[in-house]
Structure 1
Amino acid sequence: MAEQSLPSPRTVLVTGATGGVGSAVARALHADGWTVYATHRRPADADALRDAGFTPVHLELTDEDSVFAAAEQVGPRLDGLVNSAAIMGQGPVELTPAEAWRRQFEVNVIGQTTVIRAFLPALRASGGRIVNIGAVSARVPLPFFGPIAASKAALAALSHSLRAELRHQGVEVTLVEPGAMDTPIFATADRASADLGRAGSAKTQQHYARALDAVATTAARQPLGPVAPAVDAVVRALTARRPATLTTTGRDARALALLRFLPDGLRDRVVLRAFGVTAEAFADPSVTAAASAARPR
């Protein structure tokens, strides 16, 4: 009687595996018996990923040669691809320098597309799954978060187009849109904004000062959700017989998604009020002070 061969472990590549969501996804899949190819940019991170039980893969999203070399390393078959790597840009559109916009789209859109292109043959060979990590701000963009919302909206459009293109090729595509999670991405975004600085003159920047203070105060009070719901959504997308095409996770994300049904003007008023941004925030301080001094006592 011939021996029955044991099924090979399922394989998955997780980009951004050193980040908050990516590392949590990698751990969950490894615990379920998957062979996890965990990408990293810095050589120093390879040992830590290997110690965690992953197969480290060097991959620089903005370097096409690096991405295709990673695909060669992984091999001809792959069961899952989780695009978790991302950067977060924030700030008013007028104050966001061109370099920040370019970097945002290079990583969050063009880089993700390059990874998908490189690994699609291996995914097609195994009838695999693609899971892209988006953001609910793609559907309801928030003021002062235009850069991240714009890039995630582009990623959402890419995901929907790709899903239809691959429908008859045996590869499923799921978009997971989490809310605000307790990960290092916000601190990283603050550092990146500080490094690149603001566009516009000092007067233009001053025009937004009070509004940005109100937004920062509101954001500091907002509790950040756990990554577990997003991780669970990714695992389901990779393992369910019929995976969902779109999953929104987090109470704040689900509430924000509902706002898309409001008329635009009403939605703007609701969002600005929630951030504590009023018309007075944009009034010229010198004019306001002069008007206040001129009032009769």
Structure 2
Amino acid sequence: MAELSPSTPCTVLVTGATGGVGSAVARALHADGWTVYAAHREPVDAEALRDAGLTPVRLELTDEDSVAVAAEQVGPRLDGLVNSAAIMGQGPVELTPAEAWRRQFEINVIGQATVIRAFLPALRASGGRIVNIGAVSARVPPPFFGPIAASKAALAALTHSLRAELRHQGVKVTLVEPGAMDTPIFATADEASADLGWAGSPETQRHYARALDAVRATAARQPLGPVAPAVDAVVRALTARRPATLTTTGKDGRSLALLRFLPDGLRDRLVLRAFGVTAQAFEDPELTATASAARPR
């Protein structure tokens, strides 16, 4: 595929530029000659971003005023916007606190829409590109990853609607859906879950204890993929003459995406087995004994 070779320097804003994928994307584009506006939350990160040759932009996705100030700083023209900032929530739907759901959607969906809305005039002025970083779990949600999968499914729907809305306005939109990558997001998700704790009574939590242990053990054995394929997909989306509307990266990501064509029951069995979850994982001897004793004779 022929790629663009602009005669003038291109500009791009990358959100989540201090994270795993966002940082790698920002540095790759800088190496290719782009002027990279690197969005960050903490003031202490600005110096490291400057040292890397990037232009730091303070931006808090959940604060519309912060986003508006960032848009003014970037200016009236922008060639690319990469929405990489995200958080990861995980755990059983029944045990995930409402606060965790709200935070997940506030950042992964509403925050993305806020950034897009603020920077669209500058992107429209230059005929620019938008690249949203989703997740393949949006199409085939694994057990106990409902919060992140739900938010990424919402982001995917937002992206597809946006692509159609901007089709005749000169702004192209791409969704990149990576598989599991070796980034700090999993550790951050574990910390967030520990801080918020689980919803539900201890008895309710016991229903999931063995299954969660099985998923954690399986995940610990699975190697995480590199970020390079996702970075390459983002760069192609920003530079190709006819960018793909959707790109799935990573061997595990492509394999998981294929499962969506299977009947639901078969897909559920295969996914549960892949994550080490069996029917026995939901059997608690103490709960079973209590339920048996409570049945009328």
Aligning the two structures, in what range does the TM-score lie when normalised by the shorter sequence? over 0.9
**Equivalent residue, structure 2, for 1:149:** 149
Letter in 1 for 2:8: S
In structure 2, C-alpha distance between the alignment counterparts of 1:288 and 1:151, rounded to whole Å: 35
8 Å CA contact 2:80–2:238 kept in 1: the answer is yes
Q: Distance in 1 between matches of 2:254 and 2:7?
A: 38
Matched, 1:228 2:228: yes
Secondary structure at the counterpart of residue 56 of structure 1: strand
Q: Give 3-state SS (helix, strand or coil) of 1:18's partner.
A: coil
Task: Determine the C-alpha separation between the residues in 1 that align with 2:55 and 2:221.
Answer: 39
Alpha-carbon separation, structure 2, partners of 1:235 and 1:164: 21
Q: Distance in 1 between matches of 2:205 and 2:111?
A: 31
Q: 1:288 to 1:87 in 2, by over 3 A?
A: same
**Number of paired residues?**
286
Alignment correspondent of 2:126: 126
The 1:153–1:288 alpha-carbon spacing in structure 2 relative to 1, beyond 3 Å, is same
Cα deviation code 1:169-215 (max 9, x no counterpart) = 00000000000000000000000000111000011111100000000
**2:84–2:132: 8 Å Cα contact kept in structure 1?**
yes
Give the root-mean-square deviation of aligned CA atoms: 1.3
- Does residue 207 of the first structure (1) align with residue 217 of the second (2)? no
What is the Cα deviation at residue 284 of structure 1? 3.0
Match of 1:293 in 2: none
Structure 1 stretches (4+) deviating beyond 6 angstroms? none
Question: Following superposition of structure 1 onto structure 2, how do residues 104-115 of structure 1 map, counting pairs within 5 Å?
Answer: 104-115=104-115
Indicate yes or no: 2:194 matched with 1:175. no
Q: Is the 8 A contact 2:38 2:49 kept in 1?
A: yes
Aligned AA (1:263): P
Matched residue type, 1:145:
F
Per the alignment, in what secondary structure is the counterpart of residue 183 of structure 2? coil
2:42 paired with 1:42:
yes
Q: How far 1:11 moved relative to its partner?
A: 0.1
Stretches of structure 1 lacking an aligned partner (at least 5 in a row): 1-5, 291-297
Question: 1:244 is matched with which residue?
Answer: 244
Structure 1 window deviating more from structure 2 (63-72 vs 272-281): it is 272-281
Say if 2:206 and 2:284, in contact at 8 Å, map to a contact too: no
Instruction: Establish whether residue 258 from structure 1 lines up as the match of residue 258 from structure 2.
Output: yes
User: What is aligned with 1:14?
Assistant: 14
- For residues 274 and 153 of structure 1, what CA distance do their matches in structure 2 show? 21
- Whichever residue aligns with residue 136 of structure 1, its letter is V
TM-score when scaled to structure 2?
0.94
Q: Which residue of 2 aligns with 1:187?
A: 187
**Percent identity among equivalent residues?**
88
Gaps of 5+ in 2: 1-5, 291-297
Q: CA deviation at 1:287?
A: 5.7
1:226 and 1:36 mapped to 2: Cα distance?
22
- Structure 2: which amino acid aligns with 1:148? I
User: Secondary structure at 2:99's aligned position in 1?
Assistant: helix
Matched with 2:30 is: 30
Structure 2 counterpart of 1:271, which letter?
V
Per the alignment, in what secondary structure is the counterpart of residue 144 of structure 2?
A: coil
The one-letter amino acid of 2:252's match is D
Cα distance in structure 2, aligned partners of 1:279 and 1:171: 49
Distance apart, 1:8 and its partner CA: 3.1
Q: Which amino acid aligns with 2:63?
A: D
Q: Give 2:248's aligned amino acid.
A: T
* Aligned-partner SS, 1:247: strand
- Counterpart position of 1:295: none
Is 2:15–2:84's contact at 8 Å kept on the other side of the alignment? Answer: yes
